[in-house]
Structure 1
């Protein structure tokens, strides 16, 4: 299977568009997570870039989260921590970026994909978007993405998502709880809305925008350590026989 891709395009107005894609519903294996983090970090250092737009390829699923195929190959706790640390690096790259990161969500997001949405500073979505935290279904938990989700939607809504692992919550539920900032009927209308949102910001002071981003992210410096500690918890649980069995059953149902 194709290993997927990440690409960055910087337009003349100073908008860096980072697009990732994978044939398995835009899932994120380790290599793709690593590339995604590197692209975000790189775009953030380009002086001409004023805003970053994060999006996935295609017109259906936004992101299916962690690669279940890769999860089944994990052999020890070290490998498990390394795998889940990929999400930690991407979230921290967004958090540490001096440029605001805007998310475009055209469809469903599961697990780590929901974490990406939560980590971004502003999120647009179509009515086809829906979110689900399926981790408990495979006997692990949404640990690495928990701080980003709690920051955005609060503990109560995060609990609701976590303990309903087979339920998709629609875009309007996500908007009501602060994960999504604007919902539009179609992806085409989302694109128009993003352009209208970004256009005036691209003409504003970079220093002012950077200062505002730092203000909005106050109190999260400890994530540099916390997210990797949480990755170790996920990595350990993913090695359990209960988790492996659930993953194999899921793979059989979808094959």
Structure 2
């Protein structure tokens, strides 16, 4: 098991729940953190006095660097691989099943699983530096687990562009134009102001009405428990390939 060097923090103020994750390596998400994050989202959604949730990462740098390369290299079996990628599946399913609307704050670049989290937000706001990339195909894996969330938000055409051109960044304006971000802001102060203003606004709305809206927004995703497990199995098999091992090794040596 990888050492637990990151953390999840939660807070509740005036019916607004805030969940913040942090990892010193670009807010990457090792397996234990993924499961803690999923559990935090689920627990927050079970509190009747929470009307809306803000999901964010700490700092002014990357929003999320996706999977931990150290942990990917430590995977030694298909079972371990599937278990790791089920961590991302658990976060996406927790966001989907949470009865509260979730605002995602994206303050910087986001890769792979981080794009999945941004896509699973019910309303995602970002800084203009928040470029996005699905790098999984370059690693020899593919964006299989996050794919349903990203395709649902962006549509098949834009998702295909991200998935196939795995080596390129798409800027925040591209993400806004294709529906991933509801809006983008030039300063992080503006971003925080808008995130907090929207959360305050929603905190005063009818919780019952927002729950019904959430159900409507996620209509047609009831099969995701099974679907994302199947996708995690594909990634768990591919992560053991020589191609993926060599790619990560070369990336480490060059960085």
TM-score bracket, normalised by the shorter chain, equals over 0.9
Distance in 1, matches of 2:99 and 2:86, equals 22
Query: What does residue range 204-219 of structure 1 map to in structure 2 within 5 Å?
Result: 204-219=205-220
CA distance in 2 between partners of 1:82 and 1:119 (Å):
21
Aligned length: 253
Alpha-carbon separation, structure 2, partners of 1:2 and 1:58: 19
2:9 pairs with 7, 10, 13, which one?
A: 7
- State the distance in 2 between where 1:158 and 1:176 align: 13
Secondary structure, aligned partner of 1:72: helix
Where does structure 1 differ by over 3 angstroms across 4 or more consecutive aligned residues? none
**In 2, distance between residues paired with 1:242 and 1:194?**
41
2:65–2:114 CA contact under 8 A, matched in 1:
yes
1:232 matched to which residue of 2?
233
Farther off after superposition, 188-197 or 227-236: 188-197
Of 197-206 and 221-230, the range deviating more from structure 2: 197-206
Q: Deviations over 1:62-112 (max 9, x none)?
A: 000011110001111111000000000000000000001110000000000
| TM-score normalised by the chain length of structure 2 | 0.98
Please name the residue that 2:129 is paired with: 128
Give the C-alpha shift of residue 251 in structure 1.
1.5
Match of 2:204 in 1: 203
What is the RMSD of the two structures over their aligned residues, measured on CA atoms?
Answer: 0.9
Note the 1:164-203 alignment, pairs <5 A. Answer: 164-203=165-204
Match of 1:32 in 2: 33
Q: Specify the alignment match of 2:106 in structure 1.
A: 105
Q: 1:151 maps to which residue?
A: 152
Give ranges in structure 1 of 5+ residues lacking alignment: none
Report the more deviating stretch, 126-135 or 191-200: 191-200
Matches within 5 A, 1:131-142: 131-142=132-143
Over residues 34-86 of structure 1, what are the superposed CA-to-partner deviations in whole Å (9 max), with x where a residue is unaligned?
Answer: 10001000100111100010000110100000111100011111110000000
Q: Is the 8 A contact 1:91 1:119 kept in 2?
A: yes
